[in-house]
Amino acid sequence: MNGAQIPLAEGLNALMAGLILISAFGMVATRQVQGVMRFFILQSAFLAISAFLIGYSRSSIHLWALGAITIAAKVIAIPWVLKRTLPGDLYERREIDQVLNIPASLLLALLLAIAAEFLVGPLVAASTDPVVRVNLPIGLAGILIGAYSLIARREALPQLVGILAMENGAFFAGIALAPDLPLIAELAVAIDVVLIAVVIGVLTRDIKRVIGTTQAAGMTELREGPQPWH
Amino acid sequence: MALIIAIFLPLIAALLCWLKPLRGIAWGITVFCLSLSFALAVVTCHQVLIKGRAIGLAGWFEVDGLGVLMVLLVGFVCTLAAVFAGGYMRHGSQGARRLWWFYCNYNLLVFALIVVPAFADPNLVWVGVELITLFAVLLVAFESTPSALEAAWKFSILTIMGAPISLLGFFVLYWAYRGSGGGTAETWQSLHAMAPAMSPKLLKLSFLLVFVGFGAKAGLVPMHTWLPDAHSQAPTPVCAVLSGVKTSVPLYVVLRLLSVILASPEARMGRWMVIIGLFSVGIAAFLLLQVRDYKRMFAYSTVEHMGIILTAAGFATHGSDYAAVAQMLNHSITKSLCFYAAGIVLLALGTRQIRDVHGLFRLSPFAGAALLLSALAIAGAPPFPIFLSEFSILLAGLRSGHNTAVAILAILIVVAFVAILLQVNSMVFGKPELHSTAEAIPLSCRVAVLVAALPVVVLGVFVPAPIHSLLQLAAQQLGGH
């Protein structure tokens, strides 16, 4: 298959897929809270553009709505809400603790992306839909890399962004898999995502107020005692 | 119609509790609306028993036997927990000033819990399950103590992390459904009908993704670590809801999806469900031996019971399905009683540590009797209902030829039984410490305990015909052969 045969919208969608993956790597490679947030906003914007592209090429009003919801929720509302509810020093330019250093993390993220391709590659090979072939592996890679940054980061806000980045991955796959999902379901899902951000934001603020730190590593009061499996 | 009102009454109650002039009577509103909702659920159940299913709004809210069973359980447990909360929150909570906020949030949680089994569209079920998690997180953090916030944080991260994974699972399910030529809207019913035509690989992939996401919410090992934290730190009425129904509702979704898999001739998952279920039972049984906090003890017992239900569903015969839904029913009514008992012990003595409680019978005969009864019932001693359902699970397993699994399950159930009774024995009997006294137990807590104990005592010796036929209907939905 040479380049001329690929319709423009689908080619651009593949470009967006690459950019989404790169912003996922960016989130893993950044050490500052603000930087992680910026990469997340970028990733959400790419997701919205991809939804518009596929929506245009398939003339699907659902995907246009999804793109608009993504911009409203993830590019505008969530960063704004978090900035308002959380105290400013959570956003200061400071370094995030993490379990592995940056190069090792990037290597692991790369491995996860390759693993995602191998996991679902055989499944999508049978599909005649070129968008599914791009979106499902990249979406799964986004989920896995988000999960990694969630586990490796020991700080509330980057953990929340990790969850939202996982959600972006799921949606990117969803654009291809379920383009005609009922609008009500899409709306409900979008509201759910905003609620997740609000609830975790409120929780983070309370933890900051009561415990004084938002480092998850410091929260070890609840445990069973000297047992190997905790 | 009854179904729709039953679903939306908790939402209305939440709205009323939020209104300023009504904040003082938030408890009354909550108890009134939830008991009305439960009564309407009973009416819906009656319709289901006659017609096989009840339709609130076609394509949106439909319940069959399994769905209405869950709606009933949620209604029963949440109504009694609300009654219990009346006395408990006034005496046992530090955040007493924001009680209206507690009830508002509590009603929202109940709404989310009822709406999940009532939804016909699997994608909306995902939304409902996420809403359950969010409202539950806020309730766990309600006391705003450092340990409550820590528990809420671990709870939210571990369970919300599963949300995108299960969302992808539902997208894949939708894709498989469309790929099989399913033209109409996707509902549980149409999924069942189309399952034989759907790609078994995609079905398995979607089940795996949903299982990872929702298994964490149901507290299955190895994603169970949040459960004892959240279930010990939340206010006790919330613990009863969390352990009694909040874990079984995600498990209900998993079982629903498992029945879709069963309807496909090529996709097989039963063996894995048995292995994962046994793993959960095993880890929980041995953790029960060394637990030091009695609320955590009941939380681990929830992990154990979720594992038992999953194992039974994995056997995939009609007999084991019947036992699985019976176990679900029995677990919900018994575990909520356990937490009411634990709540009044906490109110009476003010400590959560097992080793600080001695001679409870002499200090407070009511609390002692409630704790002993609930511990015997949850551990599965005869003649309590859990004994019956666990016994029929073992029997159904033997009949379907899962001899090794049944042997392991039986040993683990005995370990858990011994562990729970050893712990409770040291609390209930013996001499109380010299200067310890017990606080009085509020009336509403006593009422909740007595009402909750009623089905636990009765169902062990006598299962009324309507409940039996409801369980039969529910077991048919699980699709075992």
The one-letter amino acid code at B350 reads G
**pLDDT at A220 (0 to 100):** 62
**Other Cβ atoms within 10 Å of B12 Cβ, number:** 16
Could you give the percent of chain B with pLDDT greater than 70? 98
Q: CA triplet A42, A44, A50: central angle to 5 degrees?
A: 105
Question: How distant is the Cα of B296 from the closest Cα of chain A, in angstroms?
Answer: 9
Query: What residues of chain B lie within 8 A of the CB of A225, using their CB?
Result: 290, 292
Q: Of A150, A177, A219, which has the smallest distance from its Cβ to B172's Cβ?
A: A177
**pLDDT at B232 (0 to 100):** 83
**pLDDT at A92 (0 to 100):** 65
Residue A95 has pLDDT above 70, yes or no: no
Residue A220 within a domain = no
**pLDDT at B31 (0 to 100):** 94
Residues of chain B with pLDDT under 50: none
Cβ of B156 within 8 Å of Cβ of A219? The answer is no
What lies within 8 Å, CB to CB, of B407 at 6+ separation is none
Question: How distant is the Cα of A113 from the closest Cα of chain B, in angstroms?
Answer: 15
**pLDDT at A5 (0 to 100):** 58
**pLDDT at B29 (0 to 100):** 93
Whole-number Å distance between alpha carbons of B375 and B341: 9
Cβ of B292 within 8 Å of Cβ of A225? The answer is yes
Residue B84 in tokens: 């219990």
Q: Of A174, A188, A195, which has the smallest distance from its Cβ to B171's Cβ?
A: A174
Residue A227 within a domain = no
Q: Count interface pairs A-B at CB distance under 8 A.
A: 138
Looking up tokens 């052969």 gives B481
Residue A226 within a domain = no
Cβ of A123 within 8 Å of Cβ of B174? The answer is no
The strand pair at B61-63 and B54-57 is best described as antiparallel
Chain A (65-124) residues lying within 8 Å, Cβ to Cβ, of chain B: 120, 123
Q: Tens digits of per-residue pLDDT, B84-113?
A: 998 888 876 665 568 888 999 999 999 999
Whole-number Å distance between alpha carbons of B102 and B27: 10
Q: CA triplet B369, B374, B379: central angle to 5 degrees?
A: 130
**pLDDT at B135 (0 to 100):** 92
Q: Peptide bond before B222: cis, by omega within 30 degrees of 0?
A: yes
Question: How distant is the Cα of A66 from the closest Cα of chain B, in angstroms?
Answer: 14
Residue of chain A nearest B290, judged by CA positions: A224
Whole-number Å distance between alpha carbons of B299 and B342: 11
Q: Tens digits of per-residue pLDDT, A124-147?
A: 777 777 788 888 899 999 999 999
Mean pLDDT of chain A: 81
Residue B383 in tokens: 């003649």
Minimal CA–CA distance to B99: which of B19, B17, B32, B36?
A: B17
**CB environment A184-201: b (16+ within 10 A), e (fewer):** ebbebbbebbbbbbbbbb
The one-letter amino acid code at A229 reads W
Query: What residues of chain A lie within 8 A of the CB of B134, using their CB?
Result: 192, 195-196, 199
Residue of chain B nearest A222, judged by CA positions: B229
Residue of chain A nearest B127, judged by CA positions: A189
Q: How big is chain A, counted in residues? A: 230
Q: Does A197 touch chain B (CB under 8 A)?
A: no
Structural domain containing residue A173: 8-211
Question: How distant is the Cα of B293 from the closest Cα of chain A, in angstroms?
Answer: 9
Residue A223 within a domain = no
Cβ of B174 within 8 Å of Cβ of A181? The answer is yes
**pLDDT at A230 (0 to 100):** 34
Cβ of B131 within 8 Å of Cβ of A222? The answer is no
Q: CA triplet B418, B419, B423: central angle to 5 degrees?
A: 115
Residue A229 within a domain = no
Residue A2 within a domain = no
ipTM for the predicted complex: 0.89
Largest interatomic CA distance in chain A: 64
Question: How distant is the Cα of B168 from the closest Cα of chain A, in angstroms?
Answer: 5
> How many domains is chain A built from?
1
Whole-number Å distance between alpha carbons of A30 and A38: 10
Residue A67 within a domain = yes
Task: Using the Cα atoms of residue B172, residue B321, residue B249 and residue B277 in order, give the sign of their dihedral.
Answer: negative
The one-letter amino acid code at A166 reads M
B52 — phi, psi (to 5°)? 95, -35
Q: Tens digits of per-residue pLDDT, A154-203?
A: 788 888 889 889 999 998 998 888 877 777 777 777 777 888 888 888 88
Q: Does A194 touch chain B (CB under 8 A)?
A: no
Cβ of B121 within 8 Å of Cβ of A185? The answer is yes
Query: What residues of chain B lie within 8 A of the CB of A181, using their CB?
Result: 123, 171, 174
Query: What residues of chain A lie within 8 A of the CB of B137, using their CB?
Result: 199, 203
Residue A217 within a domain = no
Query: What residues of chain A lie within 8 A of the CB of B157, using their CB?
Result: 150, 159, 163, 216
DSSP label at residue A5: G
Query: What residues of chain A lie within 8 A of the CB of B227, using their CB?
Result: none
Looking up tokens 């939304």 gives B127
Query: What residues of chain A lie within 8 A of the CB of B123, using their CB?
Result: 178, 181-182, 185, 189
